[in-house]
Structure 1
Amino acid sequence: MKWSPISAGELEALVELQLSECTLREREIFAQYRIPFRLAAIERSGEFESVFVVAMHRSVAMYFEDVEEGFNLSPLRSDGSIAQPGWQQWSLREALNGLVFLQPE
């Protein structure tokens, strides 16, 4: 089976599914930091590809790493690209809690 990047529609369905597993408070927090999906460049094995950023809190982006099939957190570079690619494979809920509660004031 050939890998292909997740589409915006597929990601929207995944976000909605995983939001249904979140608490009311987590859904409210996501609504506060959610942004319209936007593509950001990410370096993978020396090549640049794109991932969708789904939320921003301060200077940290929550994005979906579609190769690893999980959400990750990273600051963005000045050009809007992912500065520190991650491979956490977090659920939306786990990444959301990291985005809000693990970020320094």
Structure 2
Amino acid sequence: QDVIDAVRMGQFHIHAIDTIDQALEILMARPVGTLDKKGKYSKHSIYAAVMEQLEYWQAIEDGAEVEEEPKKKKKNKKKIKKHEELTADDLPQETQEEVATLKQK
């Protein structure tokens, strides 16, 4: 009953999925990616990030000298006060597009 009440109040969500890829996309709010003809995953996808990290670790294992990427500068983000609600407009454009894509599936 607690779960049902939480769902009604919007504090908890239940998603029916068929694959782990669907779960990843819901949890991470970005696409898992698709493999192209060259064997690369689509840019900014979950699997592209995984492959990039695996290639980095492989290079270290192979003894290659690898430089860590410089830390990206943080963008000025609108700070949300505790009493304000977060809206879709407060999300970065890329995230908004990914969420819209997921909702269409």
| Same fold, judged at TM 0.5 (above) | no
> If the length of structure 2 is used for normalisation, what is the TM-score?
0.22
Which structure has the greater CA radius of gyration?
Answer: 2
TM-score, with normalisation over the residues of structure 1?
Answer: 0.22
- Greater fraction of residues in strand: 1
